[in-house]
A and B are shown apart, each in its own frame.
Chain A
Amino acid sequence: MLGVGAYRTRNRPALSEVLPLPIGEMSWALTDHRDQSVRPTDWAGHPVMVFFGFTWCPDVCPTTLSDISLWLEDLGADANRLIVALISVDPERDTPAVLADYVSSFDPRIIGLTGPADEVAKAAADFRVTYRRVDKDGGDYTMDHTAGVFLFHPDGRFASIIDFHEDRRFAVPKIRRTLS
């Protein structure tokens, strides 16, 4: 609680550089896997759970999305108001159609978001997320990216992060705290 208070007073730039912006102060414009445009203001009044990744990734991303699907199953209808989004850090390959194919394997409440490179960069900056392209032999590439799952309260305030290797038993209570 102290941390959140300090970051909201604007006289602690060090903290505000690390924590994601409140959803309402974000400025990105992306497209979801159904080709609908999505802006941060569309999420007003909803608890939010966001994860950055890319569909090329064979390990971290499907693992995280499997975990998220299990958490949503645990939460049942309580999580129906929760916005759950995967934001692609690889918009070059992740078109809305590719994301549609990908998210269809997981809980139907998970949406995929992509868009022009500069809008993805804007989203990453708003969430304080790092990503970078790593070129491989033969013209292929992969992406390094922040692997945590970000949680926000319905009023848009940042709530917490579920780390990639965090004990999964703590995830559901963390999500539950954003739902009321």
Chain B
Amino acid sequence: MNHFLLAAALTLSAPAAMACETVAIGDLTVEHAWSKATIGAGRPGVFYVEITNTGSTDDALVGIATPAAGMPMLHETVVQDGIASMPHAMSIPVPASQSVQLSPGGYHGMLMGLTTALKEGDSFPVTLTFEKAGEVTVNVDVLSLRAEGPDCADAGQ
């Protein structure tokens, strides 16, 4: 491998590029996986991702697993009468020909029992389990606590 290719390979493994990589399984594409830095390991982390179903069959995200946390769960932020609560979501529908976002203020993965504090610039794998498509693993970028999402245009995607 020449130096140019080596540099390109290193760039692809850099954190900024990971959230922008797209992983496909069957009719599903999974991209923009990101998380926020945490204060210590005692507080839960969060997991956001975008899933697109290009097929004609409904699917559903039924679970997440990661070596970064002992008890990852799917949650939904619900605001009713001005009061925010965060009920557990048994599954998140990914209907045919639609995109679903786990994003701030809505569906999200809650990573309880972190094995270590999440620091900006870190990355960790999360395996998503779909009812029909099965399992797929994505790399998750840890952005700042203040981040609103990965900036993929700037990452050259």
Contacts and interface: CB of A to CB of B under 8 A. Distances in A.
A binds B: yes
Interface of A: 55-60, 62-63, 65-66, 69, 98, 101-102, 105-106, 130, 134, 138, 140, 142, 144-148, 161, 163-165
5 contacts: A56-B44, A58-B45, A58-B111, A60-B105, A147-B82
Given A66-B104, A163-B79, 9 more contacts: A56-B44, A58-B44, A59-B105, A62-B36, A63-B148, A101-B39, A105-B146, A144-B83, A147-B84
Contacts, number: 79
B127 interface: no
A139 B38 CA distance: 20
B112 interface: yes
How many interface residues does chain B have, given as a range? 20 to 34
A165 B110 CA distance: 20
Contacts of A165: 79, 105
Given A101-B39, A102-B39, A62 B145 contact: yes
Nearest to A161: B82
Which residue of A138, A146, A147, A163 has the most chain B CB atoms within 10 A of its CB atom?
A147
Contacts of A66: 104, 146-148
A54 B42 CA distance: 14
Given A55-B43, A58-B36, A134 B85 contact: yes
B86 interface: yes
B28 interface: no
Interface of B: 36-39, 43-46, 71, 75, 77, 79, 82-86, 104-105, 108, 110-112, 144-148
Nearest to B110: A58
Contact of A59 (B39, B46, B112): B46
Contacts of A60: 77, 84, 86, 105
Contacts of B147: 66
A56 B146 contact: no
Given A106-B146, A164-B84, A58 B79 contact: no
A59 B112 CA distance: 13
